[in-house]
Amino acid sequence: MCQHTTQMLGDSSNLREIAMEVNIKKIEGNWTLGYSLDKHTIRSTPIGYNEYGHMQFDTERPEAGEALFQLKYRSDFSQVPIIGQQLYNSFGGPFSSSSLVIPMPASKVRTRQPVTEIARDLANRMGIPCVENLLVKTGSTPAMKDIEARDEKVSTLVGVFKAYDVLGEGLFDVLIVDDLFDTGSSLEAATTVLRGYSKIRNIYVATVTRKR
């Protein structure tokens, strides 16, 4: 689904101007509903080795992919409201029943976590809280590339996620925000853990980019 400057998912009466041109795709998993804004890269061509012997690439990215790259690898936090606005414009309708936003726990320690910053911005635009202490990563895992079986990856990750009882009474629809959808193993593990929390009803997923 290619989404240009005046398109969004959901009710057409809620159309808003969109800053980016995006190519939305539904992402499948054990969650209730999930979407990503666009591909992570369009193409990446090897251009030779640098002085340290590392292969360099000429990479073309879609707008969402470039914004995420600048945020994560150039520490350009001015990209946060741009990404947050796009997520809101594109997915505010389908995920409007969400009571709260959950940032996907980071795998790398940073002073400022890009995913958390994006989740906070999106939650603010949706008028709901960003709850950062509900889903927590409690340990480390081996490199996922060293685990071939998908089910094993998910079960390994389930063992390091924990859902804490920080919500009030009632049932809650939650929106997990992540930067990149690759194999989906981490999101499936997070969803599995959250489904064990009796106060959570529907689980939605929104990612900025996807690898496939």
Contact present, 204 and 34 (Cβ < 8 Å):
yes
**Per-domain boundaries in the chain:** 2-46+56-210
| pTM (two decimals) | 0.86
Q: What would the two tokens of residue 87 be?
A: 């997520």
Sign of CA dihedral 78, 125, 38, 115: positive
* Dihedral sign for Cα atoms in the order 130, 118, 164, 173: positive
Tokens of residue 190, six digits: 């997070």
Burial of 9 (0-12, 13-18, 19+ CB in 10 A): middle
Sign of CA dihedral 55, 60, 61, 63: positive
51 Cβ contact partners less than 8 Å away, ≥ 6 residues apart: none
The pair of three-digit structure tokens given for residue 163, joined into one six-digit string: 């859902």
> At the top level of CATH, which class does the domain 2-46+56-210 belong to?
alpha beta
Local mean pLDDT, 10-residue blocks, the chain (212 residues): 46 50 96 97 83 82 96 96 97 97 89 95 98 91 62 83 94 97 93 95 98 82
If one counts every other C-beta atom within 10 angstroms of the C-beta of residue 16, the result is 15
* Residue 40 · residue 210 · CB < 8 Å: yes
pLDDT reported for residue 174: 98
Write down the pLDDT at residue 143.
56
